[in-house]
Chains A and B, each alone.
Chain A
Amino acid sequence: MIPATLDGHLLVSGALFALGLLGVLLRRNTLVVFMCLELMLVASTVALVAFSRYNGILDGNVFVFFILTVAAAEVAVGLAIIVALFRRRQTVQVDELNSLRN
């Protein structure tokens, strides 16, 4: 078994962040985009916990609790908007949400 190192954790975190960012930019379904946004937040929590562990400062662990709370609030509001919009427009594809234009 490979021993866990700070570099290993950061590699995972960086990969999660890159996956999330690519997903947000490339995927067209709003729900998938939303999941990718959550992935970006999770990437930060992994890195924060790893940094806390290896730097010996607990602040990062406390920060994670705030991130979890904020992410939950964000998802609650975001999903509510998606549901309300789906009722009016019958679609959640980013391309088809283009009623606002000049």
Chain B
Amino acid sequence: MTLEAAKLAAANNLWGAILPELMLAGVALLLLALEILLPRRQHAVLADLAGAGILGTLLGLCFNWDSGMLGSETFGGLLYHSTSGQLLRAFFLIAAFLTCVIARLTLARQKMPRVEFYHLLLICTAAMMLLAQTNHLLMLFVTLETLTIALYVLVSYHRTSPASLEAGLKYVLMGALSSGLLLFGITLLYGVAGNPSLAGHAARPFHYADLAAFLTANPNHFLASLGIVLVLAGVAFKIGAFPFQIWVPDVYQGAPTPVTAFLAVASKAAGFAVLLGLCGPGALFSSYAWLTTPVLTAMAAASLLFGNLAALTQHNVKRLLGLSGVSHAGFLLLGVVAAGATPMALGAIYFYLFAYLLAAFAVFGVMAHVAGPDDADQELDHYAGLAKESPFLAGVLTVGLGSLAGIPPLAGFMGKLFIFLAAFQAGARAMLAVAIVGVVVSIYYYFGWIRAAYFETWTLPADAAAGPTRPARTPVGLLAGVTLGVLALASVVIGFYPGPLGHWLAMR
């Protein structure tokens, strides 16, 4: 490479474009340094620092929303900056902040070291933010692995608990399998696209635009379709869509509650960010819609049915949320399928993600208050009598679960409505029927949970000598109370006035 070429490449490395990610990584490193420097009894301040770092990054991102680089590539085509990328960056930052709030409760209760948790959370968030802007298969692989490996550690973070470790091991095995499939798919695409004997072969086969041009020139190549199917399989693991959902219930149950929340919301959204980059309108695989549309439609239908039916029989609330998360992935997949035919589907997907974020974190926040020291042991029975003991928690739980179930007028209802409208416009009538059956089934188990909180009373087990088997509830602190209140309020307000948010999301 000549000096001129090197200069040209360096000029394209606009570090300002990834300032939010750099800030997060800086705070993450600062946390580790301060852990060494500060005396042990002042370590509690590090949790505040992590939360403040995330909020500061979020504020900086909002004030600098139109960074002047939107619609352009940086770092030699590794990244592409767009409004939807900015939106997802904000989404991941909000999810990370809410995870911090929940983690303050549970980590203190389990006497776990704090600093590494926040360090990994920040690194993971930064990787997700880069993932949302990736424009290159190498970048896709590296960011996806960064966030996945950080999540391996986070899932098994409670290292004295066999449940957490077992969940971690299952997640490692499943995650590594999915990266193996994804990687082989990427390899096949690279090899086929670079083949000089094929028409329209690419000079940079990992680059999205070059690869898309090659795929358009060869719309029926067998190895390319095999590669695409393998890549989709790898991504389906991340979003927990059927038939790659087997890890979901076990990992959700065993992981510490804040990590489960982060997995359920941020990791799923990261998977959909990738999927939209691959299968969205005008994206990488759009010339292979003949292949991707049936595959995604089948996955959506199977996820909707399996997730909801399997959740019916669950007694553990974390498993229940995991399996209901599979059905939420089904709804979002329905949106991705519709996105090929109607432009409003994209806005609908983002609206659904934000509504899901608000509702899911409200529910996980309540779970963190109800659970005891054993994070894996969270049964539906533990919620009996919650409304009498803590009307606030029961209220937040009702709003959150109602929104997840899609009860009007909450935000989750509007999210489902927009997805249904998009599917209707795209002409996917059969899928619409499946989705509506899914909603009806989901109302049953979500309301079983609400009923436990309101209409059941807690009775001591028959052998009183064994003592009460239910963990004591944690009193609601100021920060957690305000956060939960805001989340529940936002779900209600956005449900009544979806206009501004929907308008803003659809504007892009």
Contacts and interface: CB of A to CB of B under 8 A. Distances in A.
Contact of B205 (A34, A57, A70): A57
B113 interface: no
Given A59-B138, A70-B142, A37 B180 contact: yes
Contacts of B187: 13, 44, 47-48, 51, 60
Contacts of A94: 173
A74 B172 contact: yes
B138 A81 contact: no
Contacts of A99: 162-163, 166
Nearest to A6: B191
Nearest to A59: B206
Contact of A81 (B169, B179, B249, B253): B169
B209 interface: no
Interface size range of chain A in the complex: 35 or more
B206 A55 contact: no
B163 A73 contact: no
B196 A55 contact: yes
Interface string B159-181: 11011011111101100110111
A8 to B, nearest CB: 14
A4 to B, nearest CB: 16
A81 B165 contact: yes
A44 B176 CA distance: 13
B138 A77 contact: no
B138 A41 contact: no
Interface stretch (B22-30, B31-39, B145-153, B431-439): B145-153
A84 B164 CA distance: 11
A102 B194 contact: no
A83 B73 CA distance: 44
Contact of B169 (A37, A51, A66, A97): A97
A48 B187 CA distance: 6
B180 A40 contact: yes
Nearest to A33: B173
B180 A44 contact: yes
B141 interface: yes
A100 interface: yes
A81 B152 contact: yes
A71 to B, nearest CB: 9
Contacts of A78: 152, 169, 172-173, 176
Contacts of A24: 173, 177, 180
A32 to B, nearest CB: 11
A55 B195 contact: yes
A82 B172 CA distance: 10
B156 A81 contact: yes
A24 B180 CA distance: 11
Nearest to A56: B196
Nearest to A83: B165
Contact of A85 (B169, B184, B203): B169
Interface in B164-222: 165-170, 172-173, 176-177, 179-181, 183-184, 186-188, 190-191, 194-196, 201, 203-206
Interface in A21-57: 21, 24, 30, 33-34, 37, 40-41, 43-44, 47-48, 50-51, 55-57
B84 interface: no
B81 interface: no
Contact of B149 (A44, A66, A74, A85): A74
B476 to A, nearest CB: 29
Interface stretch (B308-316, B422-430, B452-460): B308-316
A85 B172 contact: no
B319 interface: yes
B376 interface: yes
B330 interface: no
A54 to B, nearest CB: 8
A89 B177 CA distance: 24
B313 A102 contact: yes
Contacts of B172: 74, 77-78, 81
Contact of B166 (A40, A67, A100): A100
B21 interface: no
A48 B141 CA distance: 14
A44 B181 CA distance: 9
Nearest to B172: A78
B183 A44 contact: yes
13 contacts: A10-B191, A13-B187, A40-B180, A41-B183, A55-B205, A57-B204, A73-B145, A74-B176, A88-B160, A89-B166, A100-B166, A100-B167, A100-B170
Given A63-B206, A102-B315, 11 more contacts: A40-B177, A48-B191, A55-B194, A55-B195, A56-B196, A57-B203, A59-B138, A60-B190, A66-B138, A70-B141, A102-B316
Give the 3 A-B residue pairs with the shortest CB-CB distance, closest first. Answer: A40-B180, A51-B191, A55-B194
Interface of B: 138, 141-142, 145, 149, 152-153, 156, 159-160, 162-163, 165-170, 172-173, 176-177, 179-181, 183-184, 186-188, 190-191, 194-196, 201, 203-206, 249-250, 253-254, 313-316, 319, 376
Interface of A: 10, 13, 17, 20-21, 24, 30, 33-34, 37, 40-41, 43-44, 47-48, 50-51, 55-57, 59-60, 62-63, 66-67, 70, 73-74, 77-78, 81-82, 84-85, 88-89, 94, 97, 99-100, 102
